[in-house]
Structure 1
Amino acid sequence: MPSTAATHIDLREFGQRHRQALIASCFDTLRAGDAVELLFDHDPTPLRHHFEDRAPGGFEWSPLEAGPDLWRVRIAKVKAVAAAVAADSCCAGGACCA
């Protein structure tokens, strides 16, 4: 599948509430084959679980860097996902976006 260059978002610059909305909005706007690279100051595993629950089979999760001070993850959309599903509260209620 063709893939375009990933958008990079440094989530360390945003508060918890803004992170959740930004991740959901960004994923909603991706087309199949597009990706976003997210930078965190904590382990984003809860976010991965959220995507597994809300968009099963609709994304590819690629860890690029794993702490201890910086975590980078590339999330690619592999098929269309209903916006209402992807826009749900992220990170199991925000637990990963502290």
Structure 2
Amino acid sequence: MNDIVATVRAPEFPPHLKHKVIFETFEKLNPGEAMLLINDHNPLPLRYQFESVHAGKFTWEYVEEGPVTFQVKIGKK
């Protein structure tokens, strides 16, 4: 369960597109699949947005927690 099928490297996108790309990638996942988010800071505001928009429909697992790189496995339930 939660096999990683997509990776988003957030620093590669302009600020106004980052969350859009992340949510579009999440929407394309099938239940049981996951995406890997790679970021240059802790994406806590994004997690709060996920909780608001997709409450109970996602998993959030830190793979790497800084200090330079943060990697989060975001799965679709």
Give TM-score scaled by structure 2 length: 0.90
Residue identity opposite 2:45 in structure 1: P
* Structure 2 residue aligned with 1:56: 55
Kindly provide the CA deviation profile for residues 59-94 of structure 1, in whole angstroms up to 9, marking residues without a partner as x.
00001111111100000000xxxxxxxxxxxxxxxx
* Structure 1 residue aligned with 2:5: 6
Residue identity opposite 1:60 in structure 2: T
CA distance in 2, matches of 1:4, 1:69: 25
CA distance in 1, matches of 2:2, 2:75: 8
- Give % identity: 32
RMSD: 1.2
Contact 2:4 2:36 (C-alpha < 8 Å) held by counterparts: no
Looking at CA atoms only, which structure, 1 or 2, has the larger radius of gyration?
1
* Structure 1 residue aligned with 2:72: 73
Q: How many Å apart are 1:6 and its aligned residue?
A: 3.2
CA distance in 2, matches of 1:3, 1:66: 19
Q: How many Å apart are 1:58 and its aligned residue?
A: 0.0
Kindly provide the CA deviation profile for residues 16-65 of structure 1, in whole angstroms up to 9, marking residues without a partner as x.
11212101110111111010000001110111111111111100000111
* Structure 2 residue aligned with 1:86: none
* Structure 1 residue aligned with 2:16: 17
Structure 1 residue runs of 4 or more that deviate by more than 2 Å after TM superposition: 2-6
The structure whose residues are more often strand, as a share, is 2
